Amino acid sequence: MSVRPRKVTDRRIILHVDMDQFFAAVEEREHPEFKGRPVIVGADPKGGEGRGVVSTCNYEARKFGVHSGMPISRAWKRCPDAIYVRPNFKLYIETSTRIMKLLRRHADEFERWGLDEAFLDITSKVRNLKKARRLAEELKLKIYRSEKITCSIGIGPNKLVAKIASDYKKPDGLTVVGESSVKRFLAPLPVRRLLWVGKKTERRLNEMGIKTIGDLAAFDVSALVERFGAMGTQYHLFAQGIDESEVAERGEAKSVSRETTFEKDTNDYDLVLATINELSQEIHKEIVEDRKVFRTVTVKIRYENFETHTHGKTLPSFTNRLQDIQKTARELAQNYLRGDRMIRLVGVRLSTLASSKEQRTLA
DNA sequence: TCTGGGGTCCTAGGACCC
DNA sequence: TCTGGGGTCCTAGGACCC
């Protein structure tokens, strides 16, 4: 593979595809009788007593104020008559895989982002934004014809702008932002729309009087660095619409984990240890299938008050044995199984991964 | 309102080595 | 008896993404 570094001055055309309410859209397609009714994909609401959150919901459900990430018990209060379904990941993965395959064919560089989003670098495929728009329309049509699902597309000079653009008009939207209009496009939007500005950072920025991306762009960089360290510089660049990051397919996973929230908080530590054994078995199965070996085991414990701890250990050499996972995880968990504290969640993660082949040379 | 499950990356401190 | 600077690895926590 020839590696020619891209010059900073090279213009790029980046396209971001975001499937509209993906899980709910797939469910609607599979169940025509859902059409026109609020559909909520997520945890079992159990008549308002359920734990867990809304994964995705359709626009009919959003009219009731339901949105993804919302506790399912609250969604139930707002919309008890909705159709509630458990996520069917097998189906979503199959659908996603077909869509990603279709998209990949039209890109110089491709990057999947979760099951329902993707970045395409289409610089060499289209000569100008007009052609880019035409390609986007073609992709939307192809996806709809083959999958009966709509998507929203954003086009911009980099990933950041393309992603914000795809979110600008939904559902079934198409937003093109040329290089010369980037600042005008971003300035009035709330800072929260920027990639990597979540709830916490939004609040800290708001406290500094920074509400919009325009406010952030105009703010003194050194003051941002003082507050946010290296990220301060990043935020300031993002606010100007500057993002040099490449569209690149992700490599192999760097960690594998399983976690579960108990139906009721528990201080039955035998149950907790038995659950750790089960989670260990599941991850073990996965790494063996993927021909992976690991060195680090980490246990995660969440108490009833949501206080969360992780405790990990790196073993002296690579292994893929179930008993190494289970024994290490149990030992690590012991510190937390004291004083009768009620436990809400337990998890096990493996990291420092290598492929079994690679391991022979590492050993 | 009471907060899932799967990940990634960053930071900061300590251990250890030269 | 007092003690630098750099590099790497490990660990815990936290913010963020879908």
Look at residue A274 and give its three-state secondary structure.
helix
Judge if A231 and A262 occupy the same domain: no
Residue A44 lies inside a defined structural domain of this protein: yes
Q: Is the CB of A280 under 7 A from strand B?
A: no
Q: Is A286 a catalytic residue?
A: no
Q: Given A87, A110, A141, which residue is the final one in a domain?
A: A87
Chain B footprint bases within 7 A of protein beta carbons: 1-12
The CATH number linked to A55 is 3.40.1170.60
pTM: 0.94
Residue A164 lies inside a defined structural domain of this protein: no
Nucleotide nearest to A43 (CA to C1'): B4
Residue nearest the C1' of B5 (CA based): A259
Long-range contacts of A92-96 (CB under 8 A, 24+ apart): A92/A22, A92/A23, A92/A26, A95/A26, A95/A147, A95/A149, A96/A22
Residues 6+ apart with CB under 8 A from A105: none
Q: What is the pLDDT of residues A270-304, one digit of tens each?
A: 999 999 999 999 999 999 999 999 999 999 999 99
pLDDT at A8 over 60: no
| pLDDT at residue A32 in the model | 96
Q: Which one of A117, A137, A202, A331 is the catalytic residue?
A: A117
Q: What is the pLDDT of residues A240-258, one digit of tens each?
A: 999 999 999 999 999 999 9
Q: For residues A105-112, give the mean pLDDT.
A: 97
Count of structural domains within chain A: 3
Q: How many residues does chain A have?
A: 363
pLDDT at A7 over 80: no
Q: Is pLDDT larger for residue A356 or for residue A361?
A: A356
Q: Given A243, A277, A309, which residue is the final one in a domain?
A: A243
Q: For residues A106-117, give the mean pLDDT.
A: 97
Residues spanned by the domain of A226: 187-243
Residues (219-248, chain A) with CB within 7 Å of strand B atoms: 229-231
Nucleotide nearest to A296 (CA to C1'): C10
pLDDT > 90: what percent of chain A? 93
